[in-house]
Amino acid sequence: MAKETSDRSIAGGDILDAVIVGAGITGIYQLHRLRELGMRVRILEAGDGVGGTWFWNRYPGCRFDSESYSYGYFFSKLLRDEWAWSEEFAGQPETERYLNFAVDRLDLRPFIELNARVVSAEYEATTGTYIVSTADGRAFRARFLITAVGILSAPVFPAAPGLETFAGEWHHTARWPRREVDFRGKRVAVVGTGSSGVQIIPFVAQEAAHLTVFQRTANWCTPLNNAPITPEKMTWVRENFELIHQRCLSTPGGFIHRPRTEGAMEVDRAEREIYLESLYQRPGLTLLLNNFRDISTNRESNEVVTDFIARKIRSRVDDPRVAQMLTPDDHTFGMKRPPLENGYYEVFNQENVDLVSLKDEPIERFTPTGIRTAHRELPFDVIVLATGFEAATGSLLRMDIRGQDGLRLTDHWTQGPLTYLGLQTPGFPNLFIVGGPQSTTGNIPRSSEVEVDLVTRLLGHMASKGYAAVRASAAASNAWGEEVASTVRGTVLENARSWAFGSNIEGKPRTYLLWAGGVPGYRERCEAAFDDDYRGFEFA
């Protein structure tokens, strides 16, 4: 591999070693690692700035549910020493600044092409390269194609027609404008009560003359309990940097939290109640991750926690009917990643806020003046769509990716994703997927860094052996699909309906999109295959 020195405009002519799609936290790290190998690399990024999720999702209230210092990069002492987080759970503006800071301090900006939305990538067998085309007509040729598009990056819009006729202002939370959206004195609709909806709704309620929330499915929301990070705390973080990193990599979700060693039914009721109350008052995802060890595997233990949160909802919402609407009836706690909230439930005590159940009153269409439901027409000045994402596969399938013999990824994955270790899919030589389907999840940078390091190791191995191509075997990929499914069986996730199974998309087959065996288990499983002469991969 020839080491690159300067030239920014390789489009069309020279062959790159690799093209990375996406300049989010994963793509930036992958670029850094491949530059360490001396590879000629470009990131192609659809936006006009870096940051991925933290570039596109700039709506009011958008922030981490991971502790800030557990989310950032751990590979660089320079970044550690020069950056100070201001909050335990940083908001979008701070996170976007951090990722720009990282790109500049690591001198990666010359190798990132902005406003370069990838529309197609086609494998050319005669040259062993991918021809990667962007929406503005540019084409890049590379030996390796690495997608780092994130599991939640392809926004979903309501199926109801007529949005284009709405005369007011509308925005999707995942495509929020840079300018301020003014809700003051206006009639506002928010459609959706997943994480984005739960975060933005309190901000809208503070300003709007009237807010109507359209809810398809209630969620088990728990308090964020955010706080500033003091200079003393930041000093402690720097002094314990490696310990924090190793702790994250040793816990199931890649967070700093570990479950309690006892099962919920192994302690008496009074002690359980005291412990659950203490978790409820603590920051972040502690109620999920610091809870009793068996809340995801023992249904009785799970019911105890679910009942506790249901009682909390009833205590915070004045109207019993509204409290009942805000209490999930289709899943128990832990079957979905719980949204973290800041005053969310109290919003529904305001006289200017209404809650509409889409199960009882579905949206029939958007009109020039607002929204028509099955029962009435409601006028609005602003509509906010917090309607989520086509998870894990959405951004991949929206690109026209073609492998051997013109095989389209959309056709290959008709019944759901087929991968080996979540890193490759049969029939697509030299295509790598980092942070995609059938890999692990949780605290995303901690799970995706494992995948980036694996891809980097594999490419280094190929260079040392003189291999030109690698692909996943069909047999290994089929076996991996079964292994991914096995990580869910026997847990409360087995019958869950959520984006993690594609269940939020009408007509999409339910499939296991994510390895649920935890970050340490995923890492050990992949490294075992790599140590066994890269078992499951075929080289040429």
344: left (phi over 0), alpha (psi -120 to 50) or beta: alpha
pLDDT at 455: 98
Q: What angle do CA 17, 22, 23 make, to 5 degrees?
A: 100
Rg (CA), the chain: 23
Instruction: Sort 302 into a burial class: Cβ within 10 Å, 0-12 / 13-18 / 19+.
Output: buried
Decide if pLDDT at 85 tops 50.
yes
Band (pLDDT 50/70/90 cuts) for residue 502 is low
Instruction: Sort 15 into a burial class: Cβ within 10 Å, 0-12 / 13-18 / 19+.
Output: middle
Rounded to 5 degrees, φ, ψ at 492 are -65, -15
Read off the pLDDT of residues 438-492 as tens digits, 9 standing for 90 and up.
Answer: 998 899 999 999 999 999 999 999 999 999 999 999 999 999 999 998 888 877 7
Q: Name the token pair of 386.
A: 């917090």
pLDDT at 2: 43
The C-alpha atoms of residue 100 and residue 115 are separated, in whole angstroms, by 16
Q: Which amino acid is at 84?
A: A
pLDDT at 3: 43
pLDDT at 448: 95
Decide if pLDDT at 11 tops 90.
no
DSSP classification of residue 477: H
pLDDT at 490: 77
Band (pLDDT 50/70/90 cuts) for residue 501 is low
Read off the pLDDT of residues 237-246 as tens digits, 9 standing for 90 and up.
Answer: 999 999 999 9
Band (pLDDT 50/70/90 cuts) for residue 1 is very low
Contact 155, 137 (CB under 8 A): no
What does the DSSP assignment read for 70-135?
HHS--S-HHHHHH---SBSS-BHHHHHHHHHHHHHHTT-GGGEESS--EEEEEEETTTTEEEEEET
Decide if pLDDT at 170 tops 50.
yes
Band (pLDDT 50/70/90 cuts) for residue 504 is low
Decide if pLDDT at 512 tops 80.
no
The C-alpha atoms of residue 516 and residue 403 are separated, in whole angstroms, by 28
Find the mean pLDDT for residues 81-103: 98
How many other CB atoms are there within 10 angstroms of residue 37's CB atom?
15
Supply the pTM of this predicted model: 0.95
Distant-in-sequence, close-in-space partners of 278: CB < 8 Å, separation ≥ 6 = none
